[in-house]
Structure 1
Amino acid sequence: MTSTSTTGAPTVNPALAGQTNDPSFPTLWQELQWRGLVHVSTDEAALEELLDGDPVTYYCGFDPTAPSLHLGNLVQILLLRRLQLAGHKPLGLVGGSTGLIGDPRQTAERVLNDRDTVTEWVGYLRGQIERFLSFEGDNAARMVNNLDWTGQLSALDFLRDVGKHFRVGTMVKKETVAKRLNSDEGISYTEFSYQVLQGMDFLNLYRDYGCLLQTGGSDQWGNLTSGTDLIRKVEGVSAHAIGTPLITNSDGTKFGKSEGNAIWLDARMCSPYTFYQFWLNTADADVLDRLKVFTFLTREQIEELEAKVREEPFRREAQKTLAWEVTSLVHGEEATRKVIDASAAIFGQGDLASVDESTLAAATAELPTAAAGLGTQGPVGIVDLLVSTGLSASNSEARRTVNDGGASVNNVKVTDLEAIFGTDDALHGKYLLVRRGKKNMALVDLTA
């Protein structure tokens, strides 16, 4: 997801051109509420007035605790973009210093990454964030790194100039801190101090850019208000914060998790095919909320899809629209078309040979595979392919499948019991997609 040119300037993402907020809402604040993007905030009336007035500078911070952002971060990035579309001025902060600390988790201490790793990840995250914001015009986005104002700050200056404004009694009442204090593990002073660092970020951005609003997840509310409180105490100014809800599925499970792994925005960590399928598999009960949060479709468009979910759920029009919109936004339209074409080809409705190797590998990752070394001794017969992949339980069953016209290799029906297949027949010189019937498939890597 690199988005910076060789000159260091962010490249223009074509997806930005068609994005707008929904003009059917009287104010931006009302649209944010309708989309379900406001879980908690400072004074609502003041925020609605602020966002409906002259351009205001605002920010959201992202810590490099991994080499990629994930779907939870995407909520914040798209909120930054929605505010920018209303004329406001975004600051994207990547935490080169706070990434060395890590905000307190609900359960246990974070493993601290070394400085070189954090520096490398800062670059990755910056490139990802830049893809979603515009760096042109009167309200061009700017990227900042909090290491710039904390890197040379001495511990004494930090304690005297910043720490003196924080009360321990207030700090220990923050939800995550309180949970950790009551746990067997407790909390280190390192993680306990995180809210002071984040509060200092907001103060510095207010001083340097006139920043008056911070956004973040509602689980960060204690850290968000540490900044508003600090600005009020030091500068006598009312700053604001918006906490978005933590996105969960209708069954209460955590959104964006698959077998314990986040759905990453980096194609190297989560392929466009896997990403697309994640959205395509959204439950009917969740799809409308996802459309509101993760797409720029209007209220009218989403209500039309709501009717289709109600009247023709089997067509899954809302899920297809969601998958197209979000995958195109994150990975681009070309990659998304490749994913859709690959899905069609794998199920016999397109040119399988045109599917690139990485997409093919991702699309078939969960299929049964043959025993290792099956093709290393030369071409393999159709009966052996069916049996070794488990598509047929025995040689006799495999032969019946072939005789009945139910076997195919790379979408070509096989009727000859003596047919053999080698690397010359394989996709990308190595893969055979073996099928029994319409839905039972397996992948054979002849080089494994």
Structure 2
Amino acid sequence: MTDIVEDLKWRGLIAQTTDEDALRKAFADGPVTAYCGFDPTAASLHVGHLTQVLTLRRLQLAGHRPIALVGGATGLIGDPKPSAERQLNEASTVREWVGRIRGQLSAFLDFAAGDDTDAPNAALMANNYDWTENLSAIDLLRDLGKHFSINQMLARDTVKSRLGGEGMSYTEFSYVILQSFDYLELYRRHGCTLQIGGSDQWGNITAGLDLIRRVTGNQPHGQAHAMTTNLLTKADGTKFGKTEGGAVWLDPELTTPYAFYQFWLNADDRDVSRYLRTFSFRSHEEIEELEREAAERPAARAAQRALAEELTTMVHGADQCAAAVEASRALFGQGDLAALDAATLAAAVAELPSAQVAELPTVVDALVATELAPSKGAARRTIKEGGAYVNNTKVVTEDALLTSADLLHGRWVLLRRGKRNLGALELS
């Protein structure tokens, strides 16, 4: 086993632990069984979840046993937001999302651990609906509720922020009891002694520790621990994992592999070092070399490219990553646009400024329609100066007209102004 605590600290992942020295000893004496919960509040996980998913993976690679818990029960309630009450989803919808998210999580962890399903660090998949489905209201209040102090629950930051505004329903107020019950059940059933989560989950996790101590007394499976990871933010102040189109999902139907690849490729130079340490499975030395390259030659974007290829391969597979790389190269004149399949080209076009037309216009009108030029006069100057391209071919005459021969897959025309300004025209 490696010193997983030192590795996580080097990556800037550890925000809080209950007792770092005790946790380090537990890892050394291991294997440790650790879990993280993922509530099905949408049909897919997004890149914001990757920090926790990949931390579980790091623990497994270090010889420990991860449990991926999908909140079939807590997903019906919803972890309280600091701003407003969550909208409750239908039970049938939550059940469907549980299945989707279980499938996504299974791609990151080794649930068989080779050919030995009884290996000490084979991952487990759990659903907290299994132990709450038959829990009566009386049992909840008598067996669990009596261990929770209202004073402590009211002191939680999320609760305080909500009570200062529109208030909070008892449904969301009770969420901490259900999450704490998860830790207790996994402790009882599987000897789970570590819960991880984002730093915003510290209160929920430590409440679970307190419940274990109160219910089990002597802690037959040993001391339980809590560890949280730092929440990622962008250098420009915007939320990590968000683009103009919304969240960056792991489901290829919600965020295409090309868009996923572009998200990482377009990472701010100020952020890429943190992203590499958080998400990459390269060695420390390889990551430090990429950091040096990024500092010395930022225009080359070697760090972003390495990160984009590693994560796209991890999430979507090598073939989809290769297609995304080829599409990215082709769009900027370094590959054959005609060689891209329709699905890959459609995904790439969806990320560009675009316009639909009923019939093919002049290149000048196309440049204006895709907002690559603010006016026809500006479009003509771009052509005259040699800066206009149709499907990566330079336009040489100001009155050039687009024809059916320019259509890619009978549908799209790619336009470029200069080296990096792209737009697309779609024949409707």
The normalised TM-score by structure 2 is 0.90
Is 1:434 aligned with 2:415?
yes
Letter of the 2:336 counterpart:
D
Q: Please state how far the C-alpha of 1:152 moved relative to its aligned partner.
A: 1.2
Q: Which residue in the other structure is 2:127 paired with?
A: 145
The alpha carbon displacement at 1:436 in A equals 4.7
1:30-45, aligned counterparts within 5 Å?
30-45=6-21
**Contact conserved, 2:43 with 2:97, CA < 8 A, in 1?**
yes
How far 1:341 sits from its partner (Å)?
0.8
3-state SS of the aligned residue for 1:186?
A: coil
Cα deviation 1:307-355 (Å, max 9, x = unaligned)? 2223222222222212222222112222112111111111121110122
Aligned to 1:115: 91
Tell me the number of residue pairs that the alignment of Structure 1 and Structure 2 aligns: 417
After the TM superposition, which of the residue ranges 100-109 and 54-63 deviates more from structure 2? 54-63
- Partner of residue 356 from structure 1, selected from 335, 341, 362: 341
Task: Say if 1:186 and 1:388 are closer, same or farther in 2 by CA, change over 3 A.
Answer: closer
Contact 1:371–1:389 at 8 Å: present in 2 too?
no
Q: Distance in 2 between the 1:160 and 1:127 partners? A: 36
CA shift, 1:72, in A, is: 2.0
Kindly state the Cα deviation for residue 439 of structure 1 after the two structures are TM-superposed. 4.3
Q: Which runs of 5+ in 1 are unaligned?
A: 1-20
TM-score normalised by length of structure 1: 0.86
Contact 2:250/2:315 (CA < 8 Å) preserved in 1?
yes
Distance 2:241 2:369 in 1: 35
Would you say the 8 A contact 1:65–1:118 is kept in 2?
A: yes
Conservation of the 8 A alpha-carbon contact between 1:37 and 1:245: yes
Structure 1 residues 282 and 418 mapped into 2: Cα distance closer, same or farther (>3 Å)? closer
CA deviation after TM superposition for structure 1 residue 50, in Å: 0.5
The percentage of aligned residue pairs carrying the same residue is 55
Kindly indicate whether residue 144 of structure 2 is the aligned counterpart of residue 184 of structure 1: no
Aligned twin of 1:172? 154
Deviates more, 1:410-419 or 1:230-239: 410-419
Shift of residue 415, structure 1, vs aligned partner: 4.8
Alignment of 1:150-299 (within 5 A): 150-181=132-163, 183-236=164-217, 237=219, 238-259=223-244, 261-299=246-284
Give 1:370 deviation, angstroms.
Answer: 3.8
Q: Identify if the C-alpha distance between structure 1 residues 275 and 397 changes in structure 2 by more than 3 Å, giving closer, same or farther.
A: closer
* Alpha-carbon distance between aligned partners in 2 of 1:394 and 1:172, rounded to the nearest angstrom: 59
What amino acid is aligned across from residue 8 of structure 2 in structure 1?
A: L
- Deviation at residue 281 of structure 1 after TM alignment: 2.0
Q: Is the 8 A contact 1:199 1:230 kept in 2?
A: yes
Alpha-carbon distance, 1:438 to partner: 4.2
- Paired with 1:352 and 1:147, the residues of 2 have a C-alpha distance of 49
Find the aligned partners of 2:106 and 2:147 in 1 and give their Cα distance: 34
Matched, 1:302 2:287: yes
- Residue 14 of structure 2 aligns to a residue whose secondary structure is coil
Q: Secondary structure at the match of 2:271?
A: helix
SS at match of 1:104: coil
The answer on 1:87 being equivalent to 2:63 is yes
User: Which residue of 340, 343, 358 maps to 1:373?
Assistant: 358
Stretches of structure 2 that go unaligned for 5 or more consecutive residues are 114-118
Say which is worse superposed, 171-180 or 56-65, in terms of deviation.
Answer: 171-180
Structure 1 residues 307 and 403: alpha-carbon distance in aligned structure 2, compared to 1, 3 A threshold: closer
What's the secondary structure of 2:211's corresponding residue?
Answer: helix
